[in-house]
Amino acid sequence: MENETAAETGKHKHHHHHSPNSDKKKATLTSRLNRIEGQIRGIKGMIEKDAYCDDVLNQIASVQSALNGVGKLLLEEHMKSCVVEKIQEGDPHIINELLVTINKLMK
């Protein structure tokens, strides 16, 4: 499609510059995702054991909130590094790509 961004098509080739700081942030994101993965396994177990629906729904809300937190952290880093870099390089498409991404995160 002609209105798709590079992020939507998966064709975006971007290499991050790694620093001890970026490694720390990667570890933070990975740790949070591991915790979320455990929560999801817990939800699956609750469903398999016929847990009370309200308890399951509360756990689902907790996972959604945790994923939103990961998304916010990643978006912040993306804006501070990748987006700034692309703007400095004169990439005219980066703002539209960013807006599409923000809209997806806000659904």
Which CATH number fits the domain that encloses residue 75? 1.20.58.1000
Please report which helix (H) or strand (E) contains residue 34, including its range.
helix 20-48
Instruction: Assess if residue 34 is contained within a domain.
Output: yes
pLDDT for 12: 56
What is the predicted pLDDT for the residue at 14? 57
Q: How far is Cα 22 from Cα 2, in angstroms, rounded to an integer?
A: 33
pLDDT (tens, 9 = 90+) of the chain, 107 residues, equals 444 545 555 555 555 555 667 889 999 999 999 999 999 999 999 999 999 999 999 999 999 999 999 999 999 999 999 999 999 999 999 999 999 999 999 98
Alpha-carbon gap, residue 54 to 99, rounded angstroms = 35
| The model's pTM | 0.78
**Does residue 6 belong to any structural domain of this protein?**
no
1 inside domain: no
**Does residue 77 form part of some domain?**
yes
Any idea what DSSP says for residue 1?
A: -
Q: Is residue 9 part of a domain?
A: no
